Structure 1
Amino acid sequence: MARVSADERRQLLVEAAIRVMLRDGVAQATTRAIVAEADMQLGMFHYCFRSKGELLEQVVEAITAHSLERVEEIGRGGGTVRDTLRSTMRAYWDHVLAHPDEHQLTYELTQYALRRPGLEDVARRQYEFYLQTLTRLLDEAGAAFGQEFSVPTSVIARYLITVLDGLTLNWLILRDDGDPEAVLDQAADHVSGLVSTV
């Protein structure tokens, strides 16, 4: 059997953890269940991760990367600031529609982490990553089109996170396909109204 590096084992454990959590829920994702899913021995978990919290951080990073990967790519496209905002939000929304179970899991992970002493940073880092990513994309869009926003991009990013987060949770509960597009259009219109030519 080929030798597997520690990084590869970590990745396999993260993927196994995601499968267990999607299937059984976060609370049932014990280290034993995760290593069994990965077809590894329990000692390998402790070799790869200092704690379950470290694993959870990597799970959140992996799921977040899934949903933001296409957003990053779209965010560097052409058009206007509004077009860029709308296509970026559409890329995120397409991921929600294609992988609702992953998005539901992020909410479960967030609440789980907030309720466990010592794991609060897992949830905090998740939302800090969203904020940093969207702030950077807004800055890049403004620079690409020679425009600037009338309010700080970090404020706009937080606003968009609130809209997308609320819309996602609302859709996960109601599964109503009628309104999300209109909400995304409204948010893109609102934010694009905050730009001016430099």
Structure 2
Amino acid sequence: MMDSLPEKLQQRAQRNAQKRNEKKALIADSALQALQELGFANTSLRDIAARADLSLGMLHYYFEDKAELIAYCVLAYKADFLAYLKSALDGSEGREAVIQRLAEALAASIFNDGPTHRLWYDIRNQALFDPSFRDTVNDIEQGLIEVLAQAWVQAGHDVGAFSPLLYSAMDGAFRYLMQHHAMSPATGQQDIAADLARVLERIL
């Protein structure tokens, strides 16, 4: 009986940790909805707590402050975005196929997840002034650079010739087209994909 007690305690701890993580994920979903509508500067913890149907004190139980919550939200979303881009590249061989697949995936994301991308750029700007966001932003950008490096290799280039500065060109085009679509949504998804493909042809 005594020998099995540590194992039972360990299982209980694992269940509690899983429940906590599930609750944090639910809170993050509610936070993202508020942040997408109001932006970083205009969203308070009270707004988020109200969306999540929690008291402010209970919200602080899961997240120490607004910065920790927002970093958690953005990191979780960007992890899904990176997995989505890597999946789009899987199986594509040759420069033309890589460019087409990546351009189409990026364009679809502008249409499907534009509000969350706007939040990402908002937080990235905040990181210039608030050091609490810098590790999260650096981790996400490193992941995006690695995706472009993967595309570079699949397009037939030597990995040693890849420069992270190429990411800035892709990011600039993506941000511009995402912002343009938010302000003037008449442009179709295929047109945006074509614009992205033209940029990627210069990069890859």
TM-score band w.r.t. shorter chain: 0.7 to 0.9
Q: Which moved more, 1:50-59 or 1:165-174?
A: 165-174
- CA spacing shift, 1:123–1:86, aligned 2, 3 Å: farther
When normalised by structure 2's length, the TM-score is 0.74
SS at match of 2:147: helix
What is the match of residue 195 of structure 1?
none
Task: Tell which deviates more after alignment, 56-65 or 176-185.
Answer: 176-185
Cα distance between partner residues in 1 of 2:83 and 2:37: 24
Contact 2:96 2:155 in 1 (8 A): no
Cα distance change, pair 158–177 in 1 and its aligned pair in 2 (3 A): same
Provide the secondary structure at the position in 1 that maps to 2:43.
coil
Q: Which amino acid aligns with 2:109?
A: H
Number of residue-to-residue matches in the alignment: 187
1:125 aligns with 2:136: yes
* Counterpart position of 2:175: 165
1:90 aligns with one of 82, 91, 104:
104
> 1:12 — aligned with what?
26
Of residues 34, 37, 50, the one that matches 1:23 is 37
The answer to whether the 8 A contact 1:31-1:42 is kept is: yes
Match of 1:190 in 2: 202
CA deviation after TM superposition for structure 1 residue 37, in Å: 1.5
Are 1:181 and 2:193 an aligned pair? yes
- The alpha-carbon distance between structure 1 residues 161 and 25, as it changes in their structure 2 partners (threshold 3 A), is closer
Amino acid at match of 1:153: S
Report how far residue 144 of structure 1 moved: 4.9
Question: How many Å apart are 1:50 and its aligned residue?
Answer: 2.2
Structure number with larger C-alpha Rg: 2
Q: Give how far 1:120 is off.
A: 4.3
Letter in 1 for 2:82: L
For 1:181 and 1:33, the matched residues in 2 are separated by 36
* Equivalent residues of 1:135, 1:153 under 8 A apart: no
Q: What is aligned with 1:77?
A: 91
Aligned mate of 2:150, from 135, 140, 163:
140
Partner letter of residue 190 of structure 1? R
Report deviation, 1:98.
2.0
State percent identity of aligned pairs: 20
TM-score by length of 1: 0.76
Unaligned runs of 5+ in 1: 193-198
Point out which structure has higher relative CO (alpha carbons under 8 A, 6+ apart).
Answer: 2
Partner of 1:51: 65
Write out per-residue CA displacement over residues 75-122 of structure 1, whole angstroms, 9 at most, x where no aligned residue: 2222213321331232121011123332333334444x258x5x3442
Report the aligned-residue RMSD: 3.0
- C-alpha contact 2:145 2:164 (8 A) present in aligned 1: yes
In terms of fraction of residues, the more helix-rich structure is 2
Unaligned 5+ runs, structure 2: 1-15
* Pair 1:130–1:25, CA change in 2 (3 A): closer
